[in-house]
């Protein structure tokens, strides 16, 4: 088969299409013939040499894919060769074939195309696990999403609205904020021109849950933006890894901070998240309440171009690569 490889870390042109050995499914795994994958910021970090795959994972980038099951490993039940699926991966999506633990497979939702389904696993699992399983967003509560026009952001808006929450988002342009409002966001904040803490407190009285991709740069302001009993869920470190935390403000607000990543979690934790997503989110997709947001689709050989697009942050939703 062929895959996008990274012979040496570097810029987008470090991504090289090359012939590589076919993977073989082990106990509890399936082999998926990949139809499409998606570009995530973790892929950019891996390409630059800053985010190696977990031990035993595929060395190729790609944290999600869609495709058809080509073979079943020993001990796999409930799936058949030819099934159309999408999958959460620890790596290997930018390849013709990839092996996947059976617990990380999802059927392609009814009404969603096979290629389009590649936009779902990573964002849905990230949002559901952090906003709902950990931060326990409830109907009537207020969610602040940083990077509202990203793949994560566009899914967070839709899922929060589906459960009856109010949603504020930050984004860097009026066009992006308009797209967020189309998806249901109640409040759009241009972070280049407005103070998100002041805007959220003025409109909502504070946020019950904040989904944060910035880390250190926003830490103090996020704590100020929290309502009493608020929960801050950090899932990205685009603004740095070390910040100063006012524990006095945390105590006064009875607030909580969590920080998680998905890629390196144990298989049983990923399987539990995927099962929860299938139970709670797949019906929303199949009924049309929630939909994947795809900015554009490119052939996998244009992965360098796709990485440049994501680095420039001009996209809304997901950038997909087809094989």
* Same-domain pairing of 141 and 243: yes
State the CATH number of the domain containing residue 48.
Answer: 3.90.180.10
Helix (H, G, I), strand (E, B) or coil at 170: strand
Structure tokens at 27: 């106990």
**pLDDT confidence bin for 252, thresholds 50/70/90:** very high
Looking at the DSSP assignment, which residues form a beta bridge with residue 63? none
What pLDDT is stored for residue 82 in this prediction?
98
* Same-domain pairing of 296 and 254: no
What pLDDT, in 10s, does the model give residues 1-17? 999 999 999 999 999 99
What pLDDT is stored for residue 7 in this prediction?
97
Domain containing 190 equals: 127-259
* Same-domain pairing of 255 and 274: no
Q: What's the rounded Cα separation, in Å, for the pair 69 and 62?
A: 17
Q: CA nearest 278: which of 79, 21, 60?
A: 79
**Tokens 């929060």 sit on residue:** 160
Residue ranges in the chain assigned as alpha helix (H): 41-48, 121-127, 151-162, 174-182, 196-204, 219-225, 247-253, 267-280, 282-286, 303-312
Phi and psi at 102, nearest 5°, equal -55, -30
pTM: 0.96
What pLDDT, in 10s, does the model give residues 283-319? 999 999 999 999 999 999 999 999 999 999 999 999 9
State the CATH number of the domain containing residue 183.
Answer: 3.40.50.720
* Same-domain pairing of 144 and 103: no
Q: What's the rounded Cα separation, in Å, for the pair 209 and 29?
A: 36
What pLDDT is stored for residue 265 in this prediction?
94
What pLDDT is stored for residue 60 in this prediction?
98
What pLDDT is stored for residue 267 in this prediction?
96
Other Cβ atoms within 10 Å of 132 Cβ, number:
19
Tally of domains in the chain: 2
* Same-domain pairing of 146 and 23: no
Average pLDDT over every residue of 252-266: 96
* Same-domain pairing of 155 and 244: yes
CA dihedral sign, ordered 259, 241, 263, 209: positive
What pLDDT is stored for residue 287 in this prediction?
98
* Of 232, 259, 286, the domain-final residue: 259
3-state secondary structure 186-219: CEEEECCCCCHHHHHHHHHCCEEEEEECCHHHHH
* Same-domain pairing of 12 and 114: yes
Q: What's the rounded Cα separation, in Å, for the pair 203 and 171?
A: 17
Structure tokens at 65: 């894919």
**pLDDT confidence bin for 33, thresholds 50/70/90:** very high
Q: What's the rounded Cα separation, in Å, for the pair 172 and 147?
A: 8
* Of 243, 259, 275, the domain-final residue: 259
* Same-domain pairing of 225 and 187: yes
Other Cβ atoms within 10 Å of 167 Cβ, number:
28
* Of 231, 259, 287, the domain-final residue: 259
* Same-domain pairing of 87 and 151: no
What pLDDT, in 10s, does the model give residues 152-205? 999 999 999 999 999 999 999 999 999 999 999 999 999 999 999 999 999 999
User: Across the chain, what does the average pLDDT equal?
Assistant: 97
What Å distances lie between residue 230 and 198, 211, 279, 318, CA to CA?
A: 16, 11, 26, 29
């Amino acid at each position: 088969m062929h895959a996008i490889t990274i012979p040496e870390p570097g810029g987008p042109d470090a991504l090289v299409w090359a012939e590589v050995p076919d993977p073989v499914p082990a106990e509890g795994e399936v082999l998926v013939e990949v139809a499409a994958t998606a570009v995530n910021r973790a892929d950019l970090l891996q390409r630059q040499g800053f985010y190696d795959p977990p031990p035993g994972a595929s060395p190729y980038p790609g944290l999600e894919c869609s495709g058809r099951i080509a073979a079943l490993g020993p001990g796999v039940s409930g799936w058949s060769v030819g099934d159309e699926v999408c999958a959460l991966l620890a790596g290997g999506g930018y390849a013709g074939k990839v092996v996947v633990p059976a617990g990380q497979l999802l059927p392609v939702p009814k009404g969603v195309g096979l290629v389009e389904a590649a936009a779902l696993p990573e964002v849905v699992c990230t949002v559901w696990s952090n906003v709902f399983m950990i931060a326990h967003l409830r109907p009537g509560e207020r969610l602040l999403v940083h990077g509202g026009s990203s793949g994560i952001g566009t899914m967070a808006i839709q899922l929060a609205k589906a459960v009856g929450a109010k949603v504020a988002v930050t984004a860097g342009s009026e066009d992006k904020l308009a797209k967020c409002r189309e998806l249901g966001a109640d409040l759009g904040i241009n972070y280049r021109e407005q103070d998100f803490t002041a805007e959220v407190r003025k409109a909502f009285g504070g946020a019950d849950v904040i989904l944060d991709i910035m880390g250190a740069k926003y830490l103090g302001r996020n704590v100020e933006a929290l309502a009493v009993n608020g929960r801050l869920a950090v899932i990205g470190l685009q603004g740095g890894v070390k910040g100063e935390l006012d524990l006095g403000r945390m105590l006064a607000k009875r607030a909580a901070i969590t920080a998680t990543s998905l890629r390196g979690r144990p298989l049983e934790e990923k399987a539990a998240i995927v099962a929860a997503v299938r139970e709670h989110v797949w019906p929303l997709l199949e009924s049309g309440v929630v939909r994947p947001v795809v900015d554009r689709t490119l052939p996998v050989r244009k992965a360098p171009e796709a990485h440049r697009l994501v680095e420039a942050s001009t996209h809304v939703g997901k950038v997909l690569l087809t094989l």
